[in-house]
Structures are given as C-alpha cells and as structure tokens.
Amino acid sequence: MYISDFLDICDPVLIFDEFMEGIDLKRYLKDLPRHDTGRKRYNPVNMLKTVLFEFMTRGYLSLRQLEDSCRANIRFMYLMDNDTPSYRSHPG
C-alpha cells in the first residue's frame, strides 16, 4: 500500500504536491554542493516541498516540529516518501 492511499482525494497536500511538481524544482536545486561523506543526503526536492508545506500550514517553521510531523503526520510522510529527517537537517 502507498501512503497516498490513506489520503482523501481532496487533501490539500495532494494539490500542493501536484502544484510543486509542475514547477520543476530540480531546476532550482541543481547547484547543490557535492556530498561525499557522512549521512546519506535527503532528497532536496522532497525537503523543500516539506519545508514549504510546513510554512504554509503553520505560518512559521520549526525544525523540531517538522521532524515530529514527518514521524507522525501522514501528509508529511507522503511529501518525504516516508523518510524522516532530523531537526538538524537542512534542505541542502
């Protein structure tokens, strides 16, 4: 089963994701520095969409709340493809 199967067809996260996919965010995230060491990098497109959705829903951004949302909120799990970033992470 997919996480999207648990979301209502009219859920705002699905509309937000469709809108963001139409923007082609990879075009804006192409100049990221190389990542050779340390923990595997989170998908930068998913991170950006998740940060923007958090800001859209709450009106502010708290990285700790973002981490909690990615663990417990199905909308954020959907945006991050069920990957949970640490609050110490950043989109780049």
Angle at 42 between CA 25 and CA 63, to 5 degrees: 90
Tell me how crowded residue 42 is: count the other CB atoms within 10 A of its CB.
Answer: 20
Domain ranges for the chain = 1-20+41-83
pLDDT above 70 (res 3): yes
Q: Which residue has the tokens 């502010």?
A: 60
pLDDT above 60 (res 91): no
What is the pLDDT at residue 38? 66
pLDDT above 80 (res 88): no
Q: What is the pTM of this model?
A: 0.79
CA 73 – CA 66 distance, rounded (Å): 10
pLDDT digits (tens, 9 = 90+) for 9-68: 888 999 999 999 899 888 888 777 776 776 677 888 898 999 999 999 988 888 889 889
SS3 73: coil
What is the pLDDT at residue 89? 63
CA 48 – CA 77 distance, rounded (Å): 14
83, two tokens: 């990957």
